[in-house]
Amino acid sequence: MESVAYAWLASGLAIGMAALGAGIGMGYLVGKGLEGVSRQPEAAGSIQRLMVMGIAFVEALALYGLVIAFFLVFKT
């Protein structure tokens, strides 16, 4: 019973910390992207495309944590 509680705690911590790191990274990405667009509005298209690609990379890191969290919840 106690191990199940630890698994639930660990799953919460896994997604929370993964989202923390990914959130910081995504904030940097979007902030710098907006800075670039406001500085050079004619390059908005290519900046936006690169930014979305970078966001997908960062998001994958958070999703690793989400998958681990799901496994911890459902495997117990």
Q: Which residues bind another protein (CB under 8 A)?
A: 52-53, 56-57, 59-60, 63-64, 66-67, 70, 74
DSSP assignment letter at 1:
-
Nearer Cβ to another protein (20/60): 60
What's the distance, CA 74 to chain centroid?
22
Smallest distance from another protein to CB 37, Å = 19
Smallest distance from another protein to CB 64, Å = 5
Helix ranges restricted to H, the chain:
2-39, 44-75
Token pair, residue 58, equals: 């960062």
Smallest distance from another protein to CB 10, Å = 17
